[in-house]
Structure 1
Amino acid sequence: MRLKGINRTTRKLSSGKTVTYYYAWKGGPRLEGTPGSPEFVASYNRAVTAKIPPRKDQLMSVLDLFEDSTEFTDLAERTRKDYRKHLRVIAAEFGDFPVTALEDRRTRGEFLAWRERLAIKSRRQADYAFAVLARALSWAYNRGLVPVNPCERPGRLYRAARSENVWTDADEKAFHAKAPDHLRLALTLALWTGQRQGDLLRLKWAAYDGETIRLRQRKTKVPIVIPVGAPLKAALKAEKDRYAQENKDLPETILATVHGTAWTESGFRASWRKACIKAGVTDVTFHDLRGTAVTRLAIAGATVPEIAAITGHSMKEVGSILDAHYMHRDPALSEAAIRKLEGRTISTN
């Protein structure tokens, strides 16, 4: 791809190494990435777009309007960051695509072919990029900005086989044996609430009244009231007692670093990963604790509505998780089913 006006300069660093910098034009902004990469092309397009506003009949104008919309700004900060990354890739590929051409039946094929090219590197990221494009076009279609959304219901390239990805009792014991106190509390909190990592990291002590935990999920905005089970209640009490014994103020958030400060998501992920390696826990992530909680509740005999009330999933989502992703075909389920059947048989004889 030939990009017009690129200005290149070569400089020698103090270390003696020679580097080359690229600019959108002489005196223009410096470009990101290496020449030919999606990041490089995207940064060039952003520079040109800032200099020359996109035409209203081109897809770039639709993407800009979507990024300024409440549909976009209401997303979580992490999600907005991910969306922007994919919007830059989309703009690099289709920024000058005519809006009127969206009605052409061949357009869907063009978009799907683009997803296939992205999938060579990562199927998961290819699906994500396509989903961002589909959402932007759906928003635009509902507002009469585009004639049609050719990206509806494309199916997925990436299929995560998570049926085996649940934390076993052995995983839990190994983690408790090797991990530090503040991360053991995170494990117990996740297993007994079934909440997402981000929501748990922001959970404050004020949300716990000694019997229940109240929170509003950031992603779904769903308010949740979770009765606190005995193991979690004991873990929370132990954490409070530890701060009292050390004559330290209780931090604002329940989950905190060893220094008593709130976690950043990246910092928590790094510490969690190290703890899992030390404990020898493999093939499962913190995210899998949410599904593990669903599975354990089901094994314990909780109904789908009861599980949904705790985790914040819809009842349909709970059913899908149990059926396709996390049920694990655990022997305890079949054992529980037979015992129930035995109980029914004995009572009727």
Structure 2
Amino acid sequence: MAKSKSKPLQGVHRVKKRLSGGVIKKYHYAFRGGPKFWSSDCSFEEGSTEYALAYAAILRGHKPSVSTAGRKITRSVIDRYRRSAHFVNLSERTRSDYGKYLTSFEEAFGDDPIKMFEEKEAVAEIREWKDRWAHSPKQYDYATSVVTRFLNWAMNDDASILVHHHANIARLYRSDRSDIVWLPEELRALRAVANDREKRVLIAASEGGLTPQDIGILRNEHVQKTPNGRRLFFRRTKSGKPVSIPVTPALSTLIETTPAGQEYLVVSLEGHMLTPERASGIVRDLKKRANAAAAKDSSLVHIRDELRLYDMRGTAATELLRAGCSLNEIAVTMGWGLRHAANIIEKYAAVVPEVADEVLKKLDEFRKNRSE
């Protein structure tokens, strides 16, 4: 069929996307929020007779409606998702984390029809959007999870799309740090260069096994009496699971030395509420200072580069194991499920020197008794 040019069609919603490498792709939809009828990958050009026929054919089955077109824009669907029970019933922390990626996703695709995500080509566009977190596999994977859950909701609950192809996406982040724990001498090296407020962060993490998210939420109201002492009882920020942590002498000193009128037991260096990022940053700064001192004095301990604040949780669990605590006691203290605790403790046991010594002691006793 001979190609002929015509005037631009009225009502067509035109979208341009710049892909990696600078390639620009065009997508034309019958109307704002409507179905796609042409893209720059098509064998016929924009404005050709075939283009007009494709537009007419798609309109015959999809008549635009002023009342529904706006509902089919990605921004509108995101707004409905934010108001849905699926989003509202998430924990406050999770809603905040999701919101970061949803806002960015809306900035990139908000004006596009939600129907574009029915096309396989949309996966490449989503992947390019996620590339802004290419420096952090963990954040990249989180973006993958948020978008997948949003599109699942749009398909199954909102029914604004019939299908999407952003499923079973391979994850980049793989981390098993169960065998990475702080050694006692490394913790002492941190304390040696820490000021009073920094030491409080270290005590909460290494003695209480608190996560960076939980250190800054503790108040005096979380301190409860027990028959033989005290405990810290609260719900984890991330999972909402209850945690019962025995108050050790070091934690007791932390509680008793909290300034009168201070709302939280552990605060930032400036006296404000301690955020997870700042808590982790304090430990990074202490490591730098301790290692700088060790570089000048060979008698001082160099702290391993891979260690981070979260790994002190493993140190606390290892201490409970060394103390002979049961699996249930460790699970409750750490805020883990029993199955998860069993898996983690099995790995921690391999890095606790005392366990090997205890096995050797029992083996020697067995052989001695057998020979008698």
TM beyond 0.5: yes
Determine the C-alpha separation between the residues in 1 that align with 2:202 and 2:355. 23
- What residue in structure 2 maps to residue 29 of structure 1? none
* Aligned equivalent of 2:233, options 214, 227, 233: 214
Q: Is the 8 A contact 2:198 2:269 kept in 1?
A: no
In 2, Cα distance between equivalents of 1:169 and 1:323: 21
Q: Which runs of 5+ in 1 are unaligned?
A: 4-51
Write the letter of the residue equivalent to 1:198. Q
SS at structure 1 position matched to 2:198: helix
* Counterpart-to-counterpart distance in 1, 2:318 and 2:215: 19
Specify which of 251, 267, 274 is matched with residue 285 of structure 2.
Answer: 274
Q: What is the deviation of 1:288? A: 1.6
Name the CA shift for 1:2/1:78 in 2 (closer, same or farther; >3 Å): same
What is the rounded CA distance, in whole Å, between the counterparts of 2:268 and 2:136 in structure 1?
Answer: 33
Q: Note the 1:125-164 alignment, pairs <5 A.
A: 125-145=139-159, 146-148=161-163, 150-160=165-175, 162-163=177-178
Answer yes or no: is the 8 Å Cα contact 2:93–2:238 preserved in 1: no
Give the counterpart letter for 1:136 in structure 2: F
Q: Relative to structure 1, is the Cα distance of residues 206 and 96 closer, same or farther in structure 2, using a 3 angstrom cutoff?
A: closer
Q: Structure 1 CA distance, aligned partners of 2:343 and 2:91? A: 25
TM-score (norm 2): 0.63
Contact 2:208 2:251 in 1 (8 A): no
C-alpha contact (below 8 Å) 1:111/1:151 kept by paired residues: no
The answer to whether structure 1 residue 317 and structure 2 residue 317 are counterparts is no
- Which range moves more in the overlay, 82-91 or 143-152? 143-152
Aligned to 2:182: 167
CA contact (8 A) 1:167 1:284 kept: yes
Aligned-residue sequence identity (percent) comes to 27
The Cα offsets for residues 150-186 of structure 1, whole Å up to 9 and x where unpaired, read as 4444341122353553211121111122212333233
Map 1:73-92 onto structure 2 (within 5 A): 73-75=88-90, 77=92, 79-92=94-107
Measured in 2, the distance between the counterparts of 1:111 and 1:137 equals 14
Aligned equivalents of 2:210 and 2:145: distance in 1? 24
Question: Separation in 2 of the partners of 1:139 and 1:347?
Answer: 65
Q: Report the CA distance between 1:130 and its aligned residue.
A: 0.5
Contact 1:304 1:319 (8 Å CA) reproduced? yes
For the pair 1:186 / 2:201, whether they are aligned, the reply is yes
**Superposition pairs of residues 1-349 of structure 1, within 5 angstroms:** 55-75=70-90, 77=92, 79-95=94-110, 106=120, 110=124, 113-114=127-128, 117=131, 120-145=134-159, 146-148=161-163, 150-160=165-175, 162-163=177-178, 165-209=180-224, 210-228=229-247, 233-239=248-254, 242=257, 249=260, 251-257=262-268, 262-280=273-291, 282-322=305-345, 329-343=351-365
TM-score, with length taken from structure 1? 0.66
- Which entry has the higher C-alpha Rg, 1 or 2? 2
73 and 302 in structure 1: CA distance in 2 versus 1, 3 angstrom threshold: same
Distance in structure 1 (CA, Å) of the matches to 2:369 and 2:116 = 69
* 2-structure distance, mates of 1:321, 1:66: 36
Instruction: Report the Cα offset of residue 131 of structure 1.
Output: 0.9
Residues 1:242 and 1:305: Cα distance change in structure 2 (over 3 Å) = closer
Give distance in 2, aligned partners of 1:174 and 1:54. Answer: 63
**How many residues are aligned here?**
291
Return the alpha-carbon distance in structure 2 between the equivalents of residues 107 and 328 of structure 1: 47
User: In the superposition, relative to structure 1, how do residues 314 and 152 fare at CA in structure 2: closer, same or farther (>3 Å)?
Assistant: farther
Which amino acid in the other structure matches residue 126 of structure 1?
Answer: Y
CA distance in 2, matches of 1:164, 1:103: 43
Matches of 1:202 and 1:291, distance apart in 2? 20
CA distance in 2, matches of 1:242, 1:60: 50
Contact 1:179 1:279 in 2 (8 A): no
SS in structure 2 at match of 1:159? coil
Output the CA distance in 2 between the equivalents of 1:339 and 1:53: 76
Residue 22 (structure 2) aligns with: none
> Which residues of structure 2 form unaligned runs of 5+?
1-15, 19-66, 292-303
Measured in 2, the distance between the counterparts of 1:82 and 1:89 equals 12
Which piece of structure 1 moves more, 185-194 or 140-149? 140-149
RMSD: 3.8
Q: Give the Cα–Cα distance (whole angstroms) in 1 for the partners of residues 325 and 122 of structure 2.
A: 44
Q: What's the CA shift for 1:273?
A: 3.0
How far apart, CA to CA, are the structure 1 residues paired with 2:307 and 2:68? 47
Deviation (angstroms), 1:289: 1.5
Structure 1 residues 293 and 140, CA gap change in structure 2 (3 angstroms): farther
Structure 1 Cα separation of the partners of residues 76 and 262 of structure 2: 46
